[in-house]
Amino acid sequence: MTQRIKIIKEKNHMKLIGIVGSCAEQSYNRLLLQYIQRHYRSTFHMELVEVNELPMFNQSKDATDSPIMQEWVQKIGFADGVIIATPEHNHTVPAGLKSALEWLSYKVHPLEKKPVMIVGASYHDQGSSRAQLHLRQILDAPGVNAFVFPGNEFLLGKVKEAFDNQGELRNQGTIDFLDSTIKKFLTYMQAVSVLSGPKPSFPPEDLHAKRGTKTTIPGIDMTADDWVEQAAKQVGAAEGDQYVKLNRGLLTVNQLNAFLESMPMELTYADENNQFIYYNYTKEKAEMLAGRLPGQVGNPLSECHPPKALKNVEYVIQQLRSGNMDLVQIHIKKHSAEKFVVHNYQAMYDHDGKYMGVNEYILDFKPIVDFYLKETKQTLVANSVAGMIPNAVTATGADAVSSASTHDATPSASPAGADAVSSASVSD
């Protein structure tokens, strides 16, 4: 079966990690990183991590293999760059930040050759200048060996007056200087990426979903045909006419189900633990573009695919989890000539930027193309897109363009001979 994979890096394809260098519950340095995260989300995706998540460094109580340390190592390893916000305590960095950097240079070295930008906020006129100087020296140490962004120091002094009640910077000059510094850092990141060569290989994916996550429902066999019913009973899940408050809406469970079932596509959700937890069940397997069975819901992804497809499943999830790619698209040609079926794998994140899993949506958009051509009175030209749609997709008599869909524009980025990697279906 011939397939083509198209990788799309969205406008915000770059992934950064912001390290909050203060352990305080109310921190202006956290506020500064949140400002950057919010105002540059169309340029890059940044997730914040807190130094108070890590234990105090102690060689006698090695925490390198602890889940939180491994999570930090993975997140920093996947990131294109790091921004550290440090306050100044007694003319140097806080103990919590220094401790975190000790862990990150003890047995693991995720900051090695990683572009790092330093920012800081302080109550005083000089911002966190002394702390930033010391932090540069720490990051240059052989055990850390980060690529620290030279010059362009962003020092936010008199920080109590710098932000308004909504967490927005007040002074336009400050905003402009931060903007220029961020843009220069992004250029620096790209230069470092070129000089450093290819990124390291990604850690293996747990397709058996053994690791678990905070939303994993324990104590139930994931492969049970009635996993949904058992899990719903255990957690007291809402159903029927009970209301669910969404980010901008209030629906009953029945309304939410009807809404999702009305979508003109097949939707599937595999969570961050690689467990298949939902699909919009409207048709039986034989009638679907990518067949699913009700009893599959709850399964780890390793149980949803034949063994030969697992390598490709892992590849796609690694790209999405790492932020290296935001969307993976696969054109499936096993369907009839009257269908143009595309599997789309979209990474999902929570409001803090944490990876939440994969939204797979599958649709035949040939009817949409036909409708558009009819409405615009255009026609198809044979062989215009290397046979992606039989007998054509380039329209004549208008401004239609084939964009990146031409045959030579999207070489396969998957392992050779890739099968469909539908997140809950067995490939034929």
pLDDT confidence band for 199 (50 / 70 / 90):
low
pLDDT of residue 261: 95
Is residue 298 within 8 A of residue 222, CB to CB? The reply is yes
pLDDT of residue 155: 81
Instruction: Tell me what percent of the residues of the chain surpass a pLDDT of 70.
Output: 82
Sequence ranges of the domains in the chain = 11-196, 227-405
Domain 11-196 matches domain 227-405 at the CATH topology level? no
pLDDT in tens, 114-138: 999 999 888 876 668 888 889 999 9
Rounded to two decimals, the pTM is: 0.54
Q: Which alpha helices (DSSP H) does 323-421 contain, by range? A: 366-376
pLDDT in tens, 142-187: 889 899 999 877 888 888 888 898 899 998 999 999 999 999 999 9
- How confident is the model over 400-424, as a mean pLDDT? 36
Q: What is the CATH number assigned to the segment(s) 227-405?
A: 3.30.450.20
Q: Which residues pair with 332 in a beta bridge?
A: 3, 341
- How confident is the model over 104-108, as a mean pLDDT? 91
pLDDT(400) > 50: no
pLDDT in tens, 29-75: 899 999 999 999 889 999 999 999 999 999 999 988 887 888 898 88
pLDDT confidence band for 334 (50 / 70 / 90):
low
pLDDT of residue 339: 84
pLDDT(191) > 60: yes
CATH class of 11-196: alpha beta
pLDDT of residue 130: 85
- Long-range CB pairs of 104-109 (<8 Å, 24+ gap) are 104/72, 104/73, 104/76, 104/144, 105/141, 105/143, 105/144, 106/57, 106/59, 106/62, 106/64, 106/143, 107/62, 107/64, 108/64, 108/69, 108/73, 109/143, 109/144, 109/145
pLDDT of residue 406: 30
pLDDT(409) > 80: no
pLDDT confidence band for 214 (50 / 70 / 90):
confident
